[in-house]
Amino acid sequence: MMRNSSEIEDLIYTETENRLKEMQDPAYQYPKRIGKGDKAGIVSAVVISLILIILCMLGVIR
Amino acid sequence: MAKHEADYIKQETVTGAVPMLSRDRQYSFLDLFLTTSGFAIATWCYTQGAYVAQYLSFKQMLINIFCFNIVWISIECIPVLFAVRYGIDLWIWLRSVLGIKGVAIFATVISMANFGWYAVDSQLFASSMINLFAGLGIPLNAVVWKPVLGVFCVILGTLIALGGPSVIKWTNRFLVTALLFVGIVVVVLCFTAVPFSEINAVQADTSLYSTALGRFMLSAEGNVAFAFSWSTQALVMPRLAKTERSGYWATSVAYGVVAPFFVFAGGVMALAMFVRCGYYESDPTTMLATLCGPGFALLSLLMVAFANIGTQGTGSYVNCMIIKSGLPKISYRLLVILAMFYVSALTVWGWVMENFGKFISMAAYIQGPIIGMTVVDYLIVKKRKLSLKSVYFIKGHDSYRFTNGYNIVGLACLAISFVVTTLFVYNPVTATIQSNVFFITTGSGFTAVFGGFLYWLASISPLRKYMLRDRDDLDIV
């Protein structure tokens, strides 16, 4: 059954509000955060790539 | 709650703008990695690879393709962490950077531009099919069959998109595994069809620019724009991931390694074609048939067909989700159908394919400042804390209404970056280098750096109060 725009808006609003209340609950389990190893991996990938790019830009790698 | 209401809410969660709770998450690392890779592996990768291969030595091509992509994808995927944590996509966060009406406008504009990629995708599908049929002794009239086959590809992709993330997940789980295998086989075959020493010895075409640095950075412009092209689409699917780690790595490896690998494969094939035939070719089916014989026609047919259809399906889902974040009242199914007609029209028109380089750079000039501002906003300005109630405009929470729904500061940063880069760094329309800054950052890269810098500058000026009205409204962190 097709809903009108106002009904859809109300339904989405109410559901969003309920979900946000659930997320505000101290018992809500957020997805596990990334760790130090992940951060080190990101930084290493960027630094190594930048070094190789600079070597090409300087003409060291031809 | 009535069943149809529960079904509707479920649909709005998966294909809408409602935040996704931990219990709703469907995607493991492998699911997200394969789905995102399925999206990333398309035949435009070969077009990009063939373009870069002409102007660089083999080693420089390798570094140019992988390193620029890894640098920018690693950075632009950092906000994946909020997408996973709060179960929202980039465009919901951007309501706090551009304002709700700013998001509605840019989400629509960028998605309309993004859909240009899918027109390229379907045209490559059509031309590959025509080539393969010709190879099998069945000539097809390109004037008639190119639009027909292109639209056929769009329709098949639409059917996948209508199935939502679950159908996309299962489609890609099989397709991508097979495609990755095929991609590796393709590279190995190229190196065996033509000796590596000959590929390595190909002299770069110097017609693009007189200096080696100029050629390297002009090629980089294409790769940075390529990396940026995923940005506004990259942060839609991670909301389906179960952990931040799986969300970040699945997304960044798919866009930063898998997609560049296929660009690299395209580059290797183009070089091998040059050694064998004396010209560069970007159609993978022609390249494989020439280099490895007609027996590989079927392999390349499967590769091209599956890759393009899978990309159409996932791309339609992602871009319709982007539009929905700005215009949440429109039904997902309606958007997918409208997208089908729009991409079909672009496919028949053919302008994007004919102006591929200009197209990706122009799109990147809008996406670049958004990347810069998002990363700066997430890490430095808002320090990873967003008012979820304000971003969803819950009654009594108005931090992100700004000026009639527009965040003037964010929009000004975007506009200034676009104009300054075009006038003073690199003009993507005329492909003209305007200053030496281009040789350090590229044009697209500058839009991101400058956009982020301007946004940060605004945040330490008196405009801070306007930008950060949400600091007393951070209930959910």
CATH assignment of the domain containing B162: 1.10.4160.10
Set of chain B residues whose Cβ sits within 8 Å of the Cβ of A9: 329
- The parent domain of residue B35 ranges over 25-354
Residue contact B63–A15, C-beta within 8 A: no
pLDDT at B184: 79
pLDDT at B109: 84
Inside any domain, residue B59 = yes
pLDDT at B400: 92
Nearest CA in chain A to B16: A12
pLDDT by 10-residue block (mean), chain B, 477 residues: 59 69 87 83 79 92 97 95 90 91 87 84 85 82 92 93 82 74 77 87 88 95 90 79 95 94 90 89 75 70 75 86 79 90 90 73 88 96 92 90 95 96 93 95 96 98 94 78
Nearest CA to CA, how far is B67 from chain A (Å)? 5
pLDDT at B13: 56
pLDDT at B61: 96
Nearest CA to CA, how far is B146 from chain A (Å)? 38
Set of chain B residues whose Cβ sits within 8 Å of the Cβ of A12: 12, 16-18, 328
pLDDT at B336: 92
Nearest CA to CA, how far is A55 from chain B (Å)? 10
Q: Domain segments of chain A: what residues?
A: 5-26+35-57
Into how many domains does chain B fold?
Answer: 1
Inside any domain, residue B412 = no
Inside any domain, residue B188 = yes
Set of chain B residues whose Cβ sits within 8 Å of the Cβ of A6: none
Contact between B374 and B383 (Cβ < 8 Å): no
Tokens of B24: 């709703």
Inside any domain, residue B289 = yes
Residue contact A61–B476, C-beta within 8 A: no
Cβ burial, residue B259 (10 Å; 0-12/13-18/19+): buried
Inside any domain, residue B374 = no
Nearest CA in chain B to A8: B329
pLDDT at B446: 97
Best probe of the B interface among A29, A39, A52, by most B CBs < 10 A, is A52
Report which residue type is found at B49.
Answer: G
pLDDT at B302: 67
pLDDT at B9: 57
The Cα–Cα gap between B400 and B93 comes to 10
The Cα–Cα gap between B395 and B391 comes to 11
Predicted structure pTM score: 0.87
Nearest CA to CA, how far is A26 from chain B (Å)? 10
pLDDT band at A1 (very low <50, low <70, confident <90, very high): very low
Residue of B84, B59, B92, B115 lying closest to B229 (CA atoms): B115
Nearest CA in chain B to A24: B476
pLDDT at B329: 76
Inside any domain, residue B450 = no
Among the partner residues B22, B74, B439, nearest to A42 by beta-carbon distance:
B74
